[in-house]
Amino acid sequence: MPKETIFSKIIRGEIPADIVYQDDLVTAFRDISPQAPTHILIIPNKLIPTINDVTPSDEQALGHLFVVAAKIAKLQGIDQSGYRLIMNCNKDAGQEVFHIHMHLLGGKHLGKLVH
């Protein structure tokens, strides 16, 4: 299990990022390669490599991801028009950084992802 990721360094402020929200459980910052006008990553401050590594002790932080996502969507002005939340697990799903993270995407019509 990794002990350190680029996200760990962003959480601690060692690598610059456009942080839009941070508290004791989660950190949210703008994606450096946005796929929509609003593209923000929301991550637990605790390093959890993949969704497969989640334990019952992580429930509060992971539930908090959704509370923070709704708060950020409102602050970004996309809560009423709509937004998408995405989490990838492992390489076949497209996970590149092995520190779980939620993508918040919005600010334009995103179309259907699945039927």
pLDDT tens profile 33-48: 999 999 999 999 999 9
Q: What pLDDT is recorded for position 113?
A: 76
Report domain extents, the chain. 6-106
Beta carbons within 8 Å of 71's beta carbon, 6+ residues apart = 21
Q: What is the pTM of this model?
A: 0.93
* pLDDT reading at 1 higher than 70: no
* pLDDT reading at 2 higher than 80: no
Tell me which residue has tokens 């019509």.
109
Catalytic residue among 64, 99, 101, 115: 101
C-alpha distances in angstroms, 95 versus 26, 72, 74, 80, 113?
19, 22, 26, 28, 17
* % pLDDT > 90, the chain: 92
Domain at 6-106: CATH architecture: 2-Layer Sandwich (3.30)
Give the number of other CB atoms < 10 A from CB of residue 77: 11
* pLDDT reading at 114 higher than 90: no
Whether 103 is catalytic is no
Q: What pLDDT is recorded for position 3?
A: 79
